[in-house]
Amino acid sequence: MPSISPVILILGAGPNIGQSCARAFAAKGYRVAVASRNNTATADQLHIQSDFSKHYSVIDAFATIKRELGTPSVVVYNAAAVTFTPPKDPLSTPLESFINNLNINTTSAFVAAQQAALGFAELPETASKTFLYTCNILNEIIIPPMLDAGVGKSGAAHMIRSASEAYKEKGFKLYYCDERKADGGAVYGAIDGDASAKHYVELSEGKTQRPWQQTFVKGARYKAFPSA
């Protein structure tokens, strides 16, 4: 039976940000569902088998969590994909890989935001109604060997920017979350899962929409930087 406790759905629940968010929100009283290809769930988490290269897998995940735990008031989209190419030949990305990764980085993220919004409309005014997309600096800079990821993240950034403005009067909050170094540079592979989780909890507890692009620094929270 659905729980009266708030519910969070984490789409793409790896051992870093995914599980850090699961622990942080569980500590706040949330019931947690994690959707991923491999089962990384702990005993107190609902695992939903998912493949985000297929958009209908996202729809299935929302149907499952609503049936088992209730409508999520916080949704974290934490899935990502990239196919690296030679720096001087970014257009060598195989078409099949480009489509697959665009589905994961953008199309399924859109479907997740769409499904989240449908659920938010059913929740009471006091619910968090927050959608958080884990991202990076690729909507601002060019890294030729990561062409497909840059295309995907840029598309997702546009989607979130547009939706955050359109839905703020309804109390829906949407964020593109990007951990940075203190100087505004990319952290690349040194993402701190606990710092991200702490920031995500803070955003979920906010009453109104903050800047859609949430660049944040470990230990310093949100910090606006000039466009790279």
Domain membership of residue 213 (yes or no) is yes
Catalytic residue from among 28, 88, 129, 153? 153
Integer Cα distance of 70 and 174 in angstroms: 20
Regarding beta strands 221-222 and 7-11, do their DSSP bridges make them parallel or antiparallel, or are they unpaired? Answer: unpaired
Count structural domains, the chain.
Answer: 1
What's the CATH number where 66 sits? 3.40.50.720
Regarding beta strands 221-222 and 213-217, do their DSSP bridges make them parallel or antiparallel, or are they unpaired? Answer: antiparallel
User: 47: domain range?
Assistant: 7-222
The answer to whether residues 213 and 206 touch, using CB atoms and an 8 Å cutoff, is no
For residue range 46-101, list pLDDT tens digits in order.
999 999 999 999 999 999 999 999 999 999 999 999 999 999 999 999 999 999 99
Domain membership of residue 142 (yes or no) is yes
Domain membership of residue 2 (yes or no) is no
145: β partners:
none
Domain membership of residue 1 (yes or no) is no
Check pLDDT > 50 for residue 1. no
Q: What is the pLDDT of residue 2?
A: 53
Structure tokens at 27: 């500590």
Domain membership of residue 228 (yes or no) is no
Domain membership of residue 13 (yes or no) is yes
Percent of the chain with pLDDT over 90: 89
For residue range 155-167, list pLDDT tens digits in order.
999 999 999 999 9
Domain membership of residue 31 (yes or no) is yes
Domain membership of residue 169 (yes or no) is yes
The answer to whether residues 108 and 58 touch, using CB atoms and an 8 Å cutoff, is yes
Q: What is the pLDDT of residue 189?
A: 86
Q: What is the pLDDT of residue 3?
A: 55
| 173 in catalytic set | no
For residue range 26-44, list pLDDT tens digits in order.
999 999 999 998 887 788 9
For residue 23, count CB atoms less than 10 angstroms from its CB and return exposed for 0-12, middle for 13-18, buried for 19 or more.
middle
